[in-house]
Chains A and B, each alone.
Chain A
Amino acid sequence: MTAMLKYVLQDVLRARFVIFYTTFMLAVTILLFQIDGDSAKVVASLLNVALLVIPLVSIVFTTIHYFNSYEFILLLMAQPINRKSVFLSQYLGVATSLCLSVLIGIGLPALVFGAVSQVLPLLVNSLFITIIFVSLGFLASSLTRDKAKAIGISLLFWFYFTLIYDGLLLWVIYTFNDYPLELPTLILSGLNPIDLSRILMLLSMDISTLMGYTGAFFKSFFGSNLGMIYAFGVLSLWAVWPLLLALRRFKQNDL
Chain B
Amino acid sequence: MKIFFILSVFLTASFATTATTLVVRDKLFSKAIQSAKPGDTLIIKPGYYKPRNVIINKPLTIIGEGMPTIDGENKYELFTITAKRVTIQGIRFINTGKSTTLDFAAIKAYDADGLCVLNNRIIDAYFGIHISNTSHATIVKNYISRTSTENSETSIGNAIHLWKSDHALIEQNRVSNHRDGIYFEFVTNSIIKKNHSEKNLRYGLHFMFSNQDQYIDNEFVNNGAGVAVMYTHSVTMTGNLFANNWGASAYGLLLKDIRDSEVNHNRFINNTMGIYMEGSSRINFRNNEFNGNGYALRIQASCDQNVFEKNNLKANTFDIATNGSMVLNTFEKNYWDKYEGYDLNKDGFGDTFYRPVNLYSMIVERIPVSILLWRSFMVFLLDRAEKNFPAITPENLLDNKPSMKPYDFVSSRK
Are A and B associated in one complex?
yes
Contact A174 B375 (CB under 8 A): no
Chain A neighbourhood of B215, CB < 8 A: none
Q: Which of B293, B315, B376 has the most CB of A within 10 A?
A: B376
B368–A212 touching, CB < 8 Å: yes
Closest residue of B by beta carbon distance from A205:
B375
Residues of B within 8 A of A (CB): 246-249, 270-272, 292-295, 315-318, 337, 366-381
| Contact-residue size bin, chain A (C-beta under 8 Å from the other chain) | 35 or more
A19 at interface by CB-CB < 8 Å:
no
> Which listed residue (B316, B373, B381) contacts A169, Cβ 8 A?
B373
With contacts A41-B315, A173-B367 known, is A209 near B272, CB below 8 A? yes
Bound CA span A202–B379, Å: 14
Q: Tell me, in angstroms, the Cα distance from A68 to B378 when the chains sit together.
A: 33
| Closest 4 pairs (CB-CB, A-B) | A210-B294, A212-B248, A214-B368, A166-B378
Q: Measured between alpha carbons, how far is A211 from B249 in the docked complex, in Å? A: 10
Per-residue CB contact flags for chain A residues 196-218 toward chain B (1 = under 8 Å, else 0) read 00110110001111111111101
Which residues of chain A are within 8 angstroms of B246 by Cβ–Cβ distance?
208-209, 211
The number of residue pairs between A and B whose CB atoms lie closer than 8 Å in the complex comes to: 101
* A178 CB → nearest B CB, Å: 10
Q: Mark A30-56, 1 if CB is under 8 A from B, else 0.
A: 000000001011001001100110000
Q: How far is the CA of A214 from the CA of B378 in the complex (A)?
A: 21
Alpha-carbon gap, A189 to B374, bound state (A): 12
Q: Does A146 contact B (CB under 8 A)?
A: no
Closest chain-A Cβ to B92's Cβ sits at a distance in Å of 37
Instruction: Specify the chain A residue showing the minimal Cβ separation from B369.
Output: A181
Asked whether A202 lies within 8 Å of B368 as measured between CB atoms, the reply is no
Q: Does A252 contact B (CB under 8 A)?
A: no
List B contacts of A163 (CB < 8 A).
377-378, 381
With A51-B377, A198-B375 known as contacts, the answer to whether A209 contacts B292 (CB < 8 A) is yes
What sequence of 0s and 1s flags, for each residue 135-177 of chain A, a beta carbon within 8 Å of any chain B beta carbon?
A: 0000000000000000000000000001100110110011001
- How many Å lie between the Cα of A211 and that of B271 in the bound state? 10
- When distances are taken between beta carbons in the complex, the residues of chain A under 8 Å from B270 are 209
Q: For the complex, what is the distance from the CA of A79 to the CA of B271, rounded to whole Å?
A: 64
Q: Contact check: which of A40, A202, A210 meets B295 at CB < 8 Å?
A: A210
Of all chain B residues, which has the CB nearest A182?
B369
Distance in Å: Cβ of A34 to nearest Cβ of chain B: 17
Q: How far is the CA of A226 from the CA of B96 in the complex (A)?
A: 43
Residue pair A211, B371 in contact (C-beta under 8 Å)? yes
The answer to whether B379 and A166 touch across the interface, beta carbons within 8 angstroms, is: yes
- Of residues 51 through 83 on chain A, the ones whose CB sits less than 8 Å from some CB of chain B are 51-52
Contacts of A166 in B (CB 8 A): 373, 376-379
Candidate in B366, B368, B370 with the most chain A CB atoms within 10 angstroms: B368
